[in-house]
Structure 1
Amino acid sequence: MLSKMVNSCFVTLAILFLWRVEEIAEACSCSPAHPQQAFCYSDVVIRAKVVGSQEVDVGNDIYGNSIKQIKYDIKQLKMFKGPNQEFDAVYTAPISALCGVTLDTNGKKEYLITGTLATDGTMHIKLCDFIEPWDDMSATQKKSLIQRYEMGCECKITHCASIPCMISSPAECLWTDWVMEKTVSGEQAKHYACIKRSDDSCAWYRGAVHPKKDFLDIEDP
């Protein structure tokens, strides 16, 4: 009888353990986002170098346990969007299962970092944010950070995950990188922005210069 009770308890604990592992493993789930969406949805968008990191306590949970985060010390190189202040650090969860981000801390690699502004004025980042080595970004993506992405923040970018897919209003752009190239870092992500036109509709724009105010459709450089 005792043996059965022990086995039963063991099975119960094993199930709870596996459930907890599965819960953690599925805790970080992100929907694909075009770089323009990442820009528009973020509180802060900066270009920076990461020069160091440390684990820090940022408070306690409801059970009194210490909450740990990774503090990345950064050297901000340029602010594309955000408050009138310079950030010297960004914070993230300590593990990827909690959407924690791992960054190179040798100070040699530059990143484009999008993130959220906390009430205490600190910047927080997660795996769902658009965080990309600066050298891996296309020339169009870099130029779009200045003005072009912002011009399309009122537009909706609809991700096409499988055929058929369509837009539901003129103020949408259909993002087809996944179905066309099996990647979310395809031509539209690297070289296009969804811009609002003079008639309030939206369309993809490609170019190395800012779009004309009344452009009608896609333009090549």
Structure 2
Amino acid sequence: MSWTVKGFVLPLVLLCLWRLQGGAQACSCAPAHPQKAFCQADVVIKAKVVAGKDVDGFDEPITYDIKQTKMFKGPDKEIDAVYTPPSSSLCGVTLANGVEYLITGKLDSDGSLHVTLCDFIAPWEGMSSTQKKSLVQRYEMGCDCQITRCTSVPCGISSPAECLWTDWLIEKSVNGEQARHFACIKRSDGSCAWYRGASSPKKGFMDIEDP
């Protein structure tokens, strides 16, 4: 496979190590492959930001009014707003009016959608065609798999149900070839393997022949 960086870097918001005045770490989360973010999220939607609302106090979340255009995962109701902490030091997300995003996030007990810098949020137009198509079926096919991030050698997997994610090691980017063009798929024998392509995996990939 080719590990060459493609044309532009997708502005995924995956890694944030923000520090408050005085040096204390306030927001810290490891980068996640888009598939892992999909599997861990309560909600995955495509939505356009139509308005942002100012907060009344430091502890009050920012509200973004959105127009949902597609739901890939979530409740049987349309979501019209997302909530995020009021500053990046608290893992708050800044969204631009008029931009359509893929948004992953968590549902609160009242059914409201909350997002942070630790969630996968990306402008829809910047995503690869494989990523977009994987939201419908392929990512879900690998939710029982473990995607293990490799940042330095030696690294490896400890179980057949893992896929080794090497984008950072090879390309120094979490937005590399595996993030943009691969999904970790569970095969018929319970093992997991990287699969590339926009179409669903063929039977030959899913089935493992006996030696």
Provide the TM-score with structure 1 as the length reference. Answer: 0.82
- 1:162-201 to 2 correspondences below 5 Å: 162-201=152-191
Question: How many residues matched?
Answer: 189
Corresponding letter in the other structure for 1:80? F
- State the alpha-carbon separation in 2 of the partners of residues 85 and 159 from structure 1: 34
1:61 matched to which residue of 2? none
Give the superposition deviation at 1:66. 7.2
The answer to whether 1:127 aligns with 2:117 is: yes
As a proportion of its length, which structure holds more helix?
1
Corresponding letter in the other structure for 1:85? K
SS of equivalent residue, structure 2 residue 155: coil
Q: 2:66 aligns with which of 74, 80, 95?
A: 74
SS of equivalent residue, structure 1 residue 132: strand
The answer to whether 1:22 aligns with 2:23 is: yes
**CA displacement, residues 3-59 of structure 1 (integer Å, 9 cap, x when unaligned):** xxxxxxxxxxxxxxx986322xx11111010000000000000000001011346xx
Q: 1:157 aligns with which of 143, 147, 157?
A: 147
Q: Are the counterparts in 2 of residues 197 and 214 from structure 1 also a CA contact under 8 Å? A: no
Greater C-alpha Rg: 1
The answer to whether 1:101 aligns with 2:93 is: yes
- State the alpha-carbon separation in 1 of the partners of residues 89 and 147 from structure 2: 27
SS of equivalent residue, structure 2 residue 199: coil
CA RMSD between the two structures: 1.8
In structure 2, relative to structure 1, the CA distance for the partners of 1:167 and 1:88 (3 Å cut) is same
Quick one: higher RCO (CA 8 Å, sep 6+), 1 or 2?
2
The answer to whether 1:84 aligns with 2:95 is: no
In structure 2, relative to structure 1, the CA distance for the partners of 1:216 and 1:81 (3 Å cut) is closer
Q: Are the counterparts in 2 of residues 197 and 213 from structure 1 also a CA contact under 8 Å? A: no
- State the alpha-carbon separation in 2 of the partners of residues 152 and 30 from structure 1: 22
Return 5+ residue gaps in structure 1 as ranges: 1-17, 58-64
- State the alpha-carbon separation in 2 of the partners of residues 29 and 66 from structure 1: 20
Q: Are the counterparts in 2 of residues 198 and 213 from structure 1 also a CA contact under 8 Å? A: no
Q: Are the counterparts in 2 of residues 32 and 184 from structure 1 also a CA contact under 8 Å? A: yes
- State the alpha-carbon separation in 2 of the partners of residues 34 and 84 from structure 1: 26
SS of equivalent residue, structure 1 residue 183: coil
Paired-residue identity, %: 68
SS of equivalent residue, structure 2 residue 133: helix
- State the alpha-carbon separation in 2 of the partners of residues 28 and 77 from structure 1: 30
Provide the TM-score with structure 2 as the length reference. Answer: 0.85
In structure 2, relative to structure 1, the CA distance for the partners of 1:20 and 1:75 (3 Å cut) is same
Corresponding letter in the other structure for 1:139? S
Give the superposition deviation at 1:212. 2.0
Return 5+ residue gaps in structure 2 as ranges: 1-18
Q: Are the counterparts in 1 of residues 59 and 86 from structure 2 also a CA contact under 8 Å? A: no
